Amino acid sequence: MNYINKIAETISNNYENATITTATLLSVLTVVLALAVYEYIIYRVVSHRAFYNKSFNITIAIIPFFISTIILCLQADIVITLGTIGALAIIRFRTAVKDPVDMIYILWSIHTGIICGCQLYEVAVLTSVIVTVFLIVFSYVKVGGKSYCLVAHLKKGADTAEFTGCIQQFVKNSRIKSRNYTEKGAHYVVECSLKNPEELESALQKLESIERFSLIEYDMEDIA
Protein backbone atom coordinates (compact mmCIF):
# COMPACT_ATOMS: atom_id res chain seq x y z
CA MET A 1 0.00 0.00 0.00
CA ASN A 2 2.91 2.33 0.70
CA TYR A 3 4.13 1.95 -2.89
CA ILE A 4 0.64 2.65 -4.25
CA ASN A 5 0.35 5.76 -2.09
CA LYS A 6 3.76 6.99 -3.23
CA ILE A 7 2.84 6.41 -6.87
CA ALA A 8 -0.46 8.25 -6.44
CA GLU A 9 1.27 11.10 -4.65
CA THR A 10 3.93 11.40 -7.36
CA ILE A 11 1.29 11.49 -10.07
CA SER A 12 -0.75 14.13 -8.25
CA ASN A 13 2.32 16.29 -7.61
CA ASN A 14 3.38 16.18 -11.23
CA TYR A 15 -0.07 16.38 -12.77
CA GLU A 16 0.12 20.14 -13.02
CA ASN A 17 3.29 21.62 -14.49
CA ALA A 18 4.31 25.10 -13.45
CA THR A 19 5.70 25.82 -16.91
CA ILE A 20 2.74 24.48 -18.85
CA THR A 21 -0.47 25.65 -17.22
CA THR A 22 -3.88 24.18 -17.96
CA ALA A 23 -4.97 27.46 -19.57
CA THR A 24 -1.96 27.41 -21.90
CA LEU A 25 -2.59 23.80 -22.88
CA LEU A 26 -6.29 24.38 -23.55
CA SER A 27 -5.61 27.52 -25.60
CA VAL A 28 -3.08 25.68 -27.76
CA LEU A 29 -5.36 22.67 -28.30
CA THR A 30 -8.33 24.93 -29.10
CA VAL A 31 -6.47 26.77 -31.85
CA VAL A 32 -5.06 23.48 -33.15
CA LEU A 33 -8.56 22.00 -33.24
CA ALA A 34 -9.89 24.94 -35.27
CA LEU A 35 -7.01 24.85 -37.77
CA ALA A 36 -7.09 21.04 -38.03
CA VAL A 37 -10.81 21.07 -38.87
CA TYR A 38 -10.13 23.87 -41.34
CA GLU A 39 -7.40 21.84 -43.10
CA TYR A 40 -9.67 18.78 -43.11
CA ILE A 41 -12.39 20.73 -44.92
CA ILE A 42 -9.96 22.32 -47.39
CA TYR A 43 -8.48 18.94 -48.33
CA ARG A 44 -11.97 17.52 -48.87
CA VAL A 45 -13.12 20.46 -50.99
CA VAL A 46 -9.97 21.08 -53.05
CA SER A 47 -9.12 17.42 -53.69
CA HIS A 48 -10.45 16.39 -57.13
CA ARG A 49 -9.57 12.72 -57.00
CA ALA A 50 -11.93 10.01 -58.15
CA PHE A 51 -11.23 8.09 -54.92
CA TYR A 52 -11.19 10.39 -51.91
CA ASN A 53 -8.70 9.23 -49.25
CA LYS A 54 -10.53 9.76 -45.97
CA SER A 55 -7.83 8.00 -43.91
CA PHE A 56 -5.19 10.44 -45.13
CA ASN A 57 -7.48 13.38 -44.38
CA ILE A 58 -8.03 12.18 -40.81
CA THR A 59 -4.28 11.70 -40.40
CA ILE A 60 -3.35 15.24 -41.41
CA ALA A 61 -6.04 16.57 -39.06
CA ILE A 62 -4.72 14.60 -36.05
CA ILE A 63 -0.97 15.23 -36.54
CA PRO A 64 -1.02 18.88 -35.29
CA PHE A 65 -2.31 17.79 -31.87
CA PHE A 66 0.72 15.60 -31.23
CA ILE A 67 3.19 18.09 -32.68
CA SER A 68 1.85 21.03 -30.66
CA THR A 69 1.95 19.16 -27.33
CA ILE A 70 5.46 17.90 -28.11
CA ILE A 71 6.60 21.48 -28.72
CA LEU A 72 5.07 22.56 -25.40
CA CYS A 73 6.95 19.80 -23.59
CA LEU A 74 10.19 20.73 -25.34
CA GLN A 75 9.86 24.25 -23.98
CA ALA A 76 9.36 22.94 -20.45
CA ASP A 77 12.42 20.71 -19.95
CA ILE A 78 15.80 20.38 -21.68
CA VAL A 79 15.92 16.67 -20.79
CA ILE A 80 12.66 16.06 -22.64
CA THR A 81 14.06 18.01 -25.59
CA LEU A 82 17.12 15.78 -25.89
CA GLY A 83 15.07 12.63 -25.41
CA THR A 84 12.55 13.65 -28.06
CA ILE A 85 15.26 14.44 -30.59
CA GLY A 86 16.78 11.01 -30.04
CA ALA A 87 13.41 9.27 -30.31
CA LEU A 88 12.39 11.06 -33.51
CA ALA A 89 15.76 10.33 -35.10
CA ILE A 90 15.05 6.58 -35.19
CA ILE A 91 11.50 6.82 -36.54
CA ARG A 92 11.08 5.78 -40.17
CA PHE A 93 7.89 6.04 -42.22
CA ARG A 94 7.50 3.64 -45.15
CA THR A 95 4.15 4.85 -46.51
CA ALA A 96 4.64 6.18 -50.03
CA VAL A 97 3.09 9.52 -50.96
CA LYS A 98 1.29 8.92 -54.26
CA ASP A 99 0.39 12.54 -55.01
CA PRO A 100 3.02 15.31 -54.59
CA VAL A 101 0.26 17.65 -53.43
CA ASP A 102 -0.19 15.43 -50.36
CA MET A 103 3.24 16.60 -49.21
CA ILE A 104 1.81 20.11 -48.92
CA TYR A 105 -0.91 18.93 -46.54
CA ILE A 106 1.57 16.90 -44.47
CA LEU A 107 3.89 19.90 -44.11
CA TRP A 108 0.87 22.08 -43.39
CA SER A 109 -0.11 19.79 -40.50
CA ILE A 110 3.40 19.75 -39.07
CA HIS A 111 3.67 23.53 -39.47
CA THR A 112 0.36 24.05 -37.64
CA GLY A 113 1.49 21.86 -34.75
CA ILE A 114 4.88 23.55 -34.38
CA ILE A 115 3.61 27.12 -34.67
CA CYS A 116 0.66 26.56 -32.33
CA GLY A 117 2.96 24.79 -29.87
CA CYS A 118 5.06 27.97 -29.85
CA GLN A 119 1.78 29.91 -29.33
CA LEU A 120 2.29 31.99 -32.47
CA TYR A 121 -1.36 31.77 -33.41
CA GLU A 122 -1.38 34.70 -35.82
CA VAL A 123 1.37 33.11 -37.90
CA ALA A 124 -0.52 29.81 -38.03
CA VAL A 125 -3.81 31.42 -39.07
CA LEU A 126 -2.32 33.70 -41.72
CA THR A 127 -0.24 30.88 -43.19
CA SER A 128 -3.31 28.62 -43.40
CA VAL A 129 -5.33 31.31 -45.18
CA ILE A 130 -2.56 32.10 -47.69
CA VAL A 131 -1.96 28.41 -48.41
CA THR A 132 -5.70 27.93 -48.98
CA VAL A 133 -5.78 30.78 -51.50
CA PHE A 134 -2.86 29.32 -53.44
CA LEU A 135 -4.35 25.81 -53.43
CA ILE A 136 -7.70 27.05 -54.72
CA VAL A 137 -6.11 29.24 -57.39
CA PHE A 138 -3.80 26.54 -58.72
CA SER A 139 -6.49 23.85 -58.51
CA TYR A 140 -9.29 25.67 -60.28
CA VAL A 141 -7.49 28.05 -62.64
CA LYS A 142 -6.44 26.17 -65.74
CA VAL A 143 -3.96 27.52 -68.28
CA GLY A 144 -4.66 26.18 -71.75
CA GLY A 145 -6.87 23.18 -72.51
CA LYS A 146 -7.50 20.03 -70.56
CA SER A 147 -5.40 16.94 -71.12
CA TYR A 148 -6.99 14.10 -73.08
CA CYS A 149 -5.95 10.70 -74.33
CA LEU A 150 -7.35 9.70 -77.72
CA VAL A 151 -7.54 5.97 -78.41
CA ALA A 152 -8.50 5.25 -82.03
CA HIS A 153 -8.89 2.04 -84.01
CA LEU A 154 -8.36 2.54 -87.74
CA LYS A 155 -9.70 0.15 -90.36
CA LYS A 156 -7.38 -2.02 -92.42
CA GLY A 157 -5.79 -0.05 -95.23
CA ALA A 158 -7.02 3.27 -93.83
CA ASP A 159 -5.20 6.49 -94.66
CA THR A 160 -3.32 7.38 -91.49
CA ALA A 161 -2.42 10.80 -92.92
CA GLU A 162 -6.10 11.71 -92.95
CA PHE A 163 -6.38 10.74 -89.28
CA THR A 164 -3.29 12.65 -88.13
CA GLY A 165 -4.26 15.65 -90.27
CA CYS A 166 -7.67 15.79 -88.57
CA ILE A 167 -6.00 15.82 -85.18
CA GLN A 168 -3.56 18.57 -86.13
CA GLN A 169 -6.46 20.66 -87.42
CA PHE A 170 -8.20 20.81 -84.02
CA VAL A 171 -5.32 20.18 -81.60
CA LYS A 172 -2.38 22.56 -81.18
CA ASN A 173 -0.38 20.32 -78.85
CA SER A 174 -0.51 16.59 -79.52
CA ARG A 175 1.83 13.64 -79.29
CA ILE A 176 1.41 10.11 -80.58
CA LYS A 177 2.20 7.82 -77.68
CA SER A 178 1.94 4.49 -79.49
CA ARG A 179 1.19 2.86 -82.87
CA ASN A 180 0.12 -0.76 -83.09
CA TYR A 181 -0.50 -2.43 -86.45
CA THR A 182 -2.43 -5.67 -86.83
CA GLU A 183 -4.16 -7.57 -89.62
CA LYS A 184 -7.42 -5.84 -88.75
CA GLY A 185 -6.00 -2.31 -88.85
CA ALA A 186 -4.05 0.18 -86.74
CA HIS A 187 -4.35 1.19 -83.12
CA TYR A 188 -3.31 4.75 -82.14
CA VAL A 189 -2.92 6.34 -78.70
CA VAL A 190 -2.56 10.13 -78.90
CA GLU A 191 -1.98 12.57 -76.05
CA CYS A 192 -3.53 15.97 -76.71
CA SER A 193 -4.64 19.20 -75.07
CA LEU A 194 -8.16 20.41 -75.94
CA LYS A 195 -10.39 23.32 -75.03
CA ASN A 196 -13.39 22.09 -77.06
CA PRO A 197 -13.28 18.28 -77.35
CA GLU A 198 -16.70 18.25 -79.04
CA GLU A 199 -15.22 19.73 -82.21
CA LEU A 200 -12.62 16.96 -82.49
CA GLU A 201 -15.23 14.31 -81.73
CA SER A 202 -17.50 15.56 -84.53
CA ALA A 203 -14.61 15.61 -87.01
CA LEU A 204 -13.45 12.10 -86.12
CA GLN A 205 -16.98 10.71 -86.44
CA LYS A 206 -17.06 11.87 -90.06
CA LEU A 207 -13.89 9.96 -90.97
CA GLU A 208 -14.70 6.65 -92.65
CA SER A 209 -11.22 5.35 -91.87
CA ILE A 210 -11.95 5.18 -88.11
CA GLU A 211 -13.71 2.08 -86.85
CA ARG A 212 -14.10 3.39 -83.29
CA PHE A 213 -12.39 5.82 -80.92
CA SER A 214 -12.38 6.92 -77.29
CA LEU A 215 -11.49 10.32 -75.85
CA ILE A 216 -10.42 10.07 -72.21
CA GLU A 217 -9.80 13.04 -69.91
CA TYR A 218 -7.04 12.64 -67.33
CA ASP A 219 -5.28 14.78 -64.72
CA MET A 220 -1.81 13.27 -64.73
CA GLU A 221 1.03 14.89 -66.62
CA ASP A 222 1.78 11.74 -68.57
CA ILE A 223 0.48 8.28 -69.28
CA ALA A 224 2.53 5.21 -68.50
What angle do helix axes 54-76 and 22-46 make, rounded to 10 degrees? 150
Point out which residues pair with 193 in neighbouring strands: 147
User: Shortest CA distance to 95 belongs to which of 48, 55, 135, 66?
Assistant: 55
Point out which residues pair with 194 in neighbouring strands: 146
Per-residue pLDDT tens for 2-22?
767 766 666 666 555 556 788
Neighbours of 120 (CB within 10 A): 14
Quick one: pLDDT at residue 55?
A: 87
Quick one: pLDDT at residue 11?
A: 61
H/E stretch holding 151 reads: strand 146-155
Per-residue pLDDT tens for 88-106?
665 566 667 777 788 889 8
H/E stretch holding 211 reads: strand 210-217
The pTM is what?
Answer: 0.65
Please tell me the distance from the alpha carbon of residue 110 to that of residue 30, in angstroms, as a whole number: 16
Per-residue pLDDT tens for 93-142?
666 777 778 888 989 998 999 899 888 999 999 999 999 999 888 777 66
